[in-house]
Amino acid sequence: ATTIDRLSIGGFKSFADEVRLDILPGLTGIIGPNGCGKSNVVEGLRWAMGETSARALRGGELDDLIFAGTGARSARNIAQVTLHLSNAAGLAPSPFQDADELEISRRAERGSGSEYRINGRVMRARDVQTLFADLASGARSSAIISQNRVGQLIAAKPEERRLLLEEAAGITGLHARRHDAELK
Ligand code: ATP
Ligand code: MG
């Protein structure tokens, strides 16, 4: 199976310096006191997967995601999150179809938006979003459930629930591509 086995996060939200997290097989838990940055790790993951909703990232605009500085540390001007995927061959967009390892990064610079790269090459947001939709673990997929989302899932309307099931089944990417094809 394709796995995300490493996440590097630097200049993003509360992460002033680059931190590298190796995700080992099995269950991983992140523990720590309130406000230490646990949710920020998950938001970094979503952001690198192509999340664009400010609400999902608890920020008004892109620049809010860049480390803003504290009493002890000055602000950063660049935020970068990199995901390392193994066994990704077949899922990757052209020209990486045969690449078994993928390094997907998103980088924001203060005042000038963000940019995605796959294995060092600049790619469209759409390429990264489709890749993760196919992986059935996209930025908004049911595989990531945020702190306030459990109650919403219980109260969801049938058609909202269908979308979640489609994401879980990994067919959301197919819909996105069909939509693209219909527009052409
Ligand atoms: P809880 O246990 O309460 O859920 P948590 O570990 O999930 O806490 P987070 O919500 O990840 O904590 O982190 C919140 C912290 O991140 C706050 O202290 C906030 O000031 C800090 N933070 C958020 N955005 C930035 C930013 N752009 N620059 C610096 N710090 C930031
Ligand atoms: Mg939290």
What residues does each domain of the chain span?
Answer: 3-131
Q: Whose CA is nearest to atom 13 of ligand 1?
A: 37
Q: How far is the CA of 138 from the centre of ligand 1 (A)?
A: 22
Looking at the DSSP bridge assignments, the partners of residue 13 are none
Looking at 62-171, list the stretches that DSSP marks H as alpha helix, in order from N- to C-terminal side: 125-134, 149-155, 158-169
| Whole-prediction pTM | 0.86
Measure the CA angle with vertex 153, ends 151 and 159; round to 5°.
145
- Name the E strands within 42-172: 78-86, 102-109, 114-118, 121-123
Q: How far is the CA of 15 from the centre of ligand 2 (A)?
A: 14
pLDDT tens digits, 71-111: 999 999 999 999 999 988 888 888 998 999 999 999 999 99
Q: Whose CA is nearest to atom 3 of ligand 1?
A: 34
Interface predicted TM-score (ipTM) over 0.95? yes
- Please report the pLDDT score of residue 68 as a whole number: 98
User: Which of the ligands is closest to the CA of residue 66?
Assistant: 1
Residue 128 has pLDDT above 70, yes or no: yes
Please give the mean pLDDT across all residues of the chain.
Answer: 88
Q: How far is the CA of 171 from the centre of ligand 1 (A)?
A: 33
Whether the ω angle into residue 33 lies within 30 degrees of 0, i.e. cis, is no
39 lines ligand 1 (CB under 6 A): yes
Dist. CA 138–CA 174, nearest whole Å: 13
User: Which of the ligands is closest to the CA of residue 38?
Assistant: 1
> Could you give phi then psi for residue 85, rounded to 5 degrees?
-110, 135
Greater confidence (127 vs 176) lies with: 127
Q: Which of 39, 74, 77, 146 to mutate to test the pocket of ligand 1 (most atoms within 8 A of CB)?
A: 39
Q: Which helix (H) or strand (E) holds 175?
A: helix 172-183
Reference 68, options 141, 127, 15, 23; nearest CA is: 15
Fold classified for 3-131: Rossmann fold (3.40.50)
- Please report the pLDDT score of residue 184 as a whole number: 66
78 lines ligand 1 (CB under 6 A): no
Sign of CA dihedral 137, 83, 115, 59: positive
